[in-house]
Amino acid sequence: MPARNRYATYVLWLHFVVAEVFAIPLLFFAGRFSDWINWKYFDPTMVKMLGVALAALGIGSLLAARDPLRHRVIVQTEIVYTAGSVVVLLYRLLRYSADTAGFAWVALAAFAVFFVLFCATYPREARSDAGEAKGDVPPPSEPEVPADE
């Protein structure tokens, strides 16, 4: 496994752990978790749906960690999700900071870090000694000229 894909495996495992650490309280203790982080205005159903999304993405990361190259679509999904979360949280924090729990800064930092990590360790094909990707078609050889008899 190329080094880049090995790092992708580590990032996917880390994402699984972090996602589940946040998903479990959101799913099973939405009210207590919201009180703990001072989240004043929340809909318990939406909080639990966020927990389900985090749990599902975390499990996807765990499954993709076995072979990141073959499961690049999961990494692509993680990139889109983390980028979208950064945009939404930044907007919320800049526009409505007085009504937003301070914990949103922690969530923003986590999403931003994972966005960078997923992009930096995006799984790629292994390179051969010549620098060409494996499976590439070699350049055409010179045509053979028939020898004179």
DSSP string, 40-89: -S--HHHHHHHHHHHHHHHHHHHHHTT-TTTTHHHHHHHHHHHHHHHHHH
Structural contact between residues 35 and 127, judged by C-beta atoms closer than 8 angstroms: no
Amino acid at 87: V
> Which residues lie below 8 Å from residue 55, measured CB to CB, with a gap of 6+?
19, 20, 23, 24, 27
pTM of this prediction? Answer: 0.75
- Among residues 20, 116, 6, 14, the alpha carbon closest in space to that of 68 is found at 6
Instruction: Indicate whether 56 pLDDT > 90.
Output: yes
Kindly state the average pLDDT of the residues 7-33.
91
pLDDT for res 13? 96
Instruction: Indicate whether 79 pLDDT > 70.
Output: yes
Task: Kindly report the number of other CB atoms within 10 A of residue 106's CB atom.
Answer: 12
